Amino acid sequence: MYSKILSLRFPSDIVNEPIVVNLVKKFDLTFNILKATIYPRKEGFMVLELRGHRKDYQRGLRYLKSLGIKVESIGQDIKRDEELCFQCGACTAVCPTGALYIKRPEMEVIFDRESCSACELCVIVCPARAMEVRFDRTLLA
């Protein structure tokens, strides 16, 4: 099984289409919606974990892109300012996916973008404000 967390940005003309259902029916994929903001007649935004066999996953991605959906790995929306981070490790205690963890014995905080679900818990607890989520906020308003 192949699995990846993606951000999807939907054009306004297709937000009422059963896109995620088609991923299940046509491409035998499963999903877990982690965050979504979709309004009628406006652009939509969704963070989801998509999983299935690699060939089905690739076919599903081609389908999404053919509809004009902008598909990105969620790690592209998450940033850590290395200069601000002072390696306190507070973020590692709240990270539900293990994307933030402490490398031992160095005691260095490591950020694995591919494992990040964009839950934003690290942003809340970081005393240095080193973590930032850069979703297009106009889609979330």
Query: pLDDT tens across 46-73, in order?
Result: 888 899 999 999 999 999 999 999 998 7
Q: Where in the chain is the domain with CATH 3.30.70.20?
A: 78-135
Residue 86 has pLDDT above 70, yes or no: yes
Paired tokens of 8 = 């999807």
CB-based contact 64:16 (threshold 8 Å): no
Average pLDDT estimate for 98-102 = 93
Which residues on adjacent β-strands are paired with residue 3? 51
Strands (E), the chain: 2-10, 30-37, 44-52, 70-73, 78-80, 100-103, 108-111, 131-133
Question: Which numeric CATH code is attached to 2-75?
Answer: 3.30.70.260
pLDDT score, position 77: 67
CATH number of the domain at 78-135, out of 3.40.30.10, 3.20.20.220, 3.40.50.300, 3.30.70.20?
3.30.70.20
Q: Where in the chain is the domain with CATH 3.30.70.260?
A: 2-75
Among the ranges 7-21, 39-53, 79-93, which has the highest mean pLDDT value? 79-93
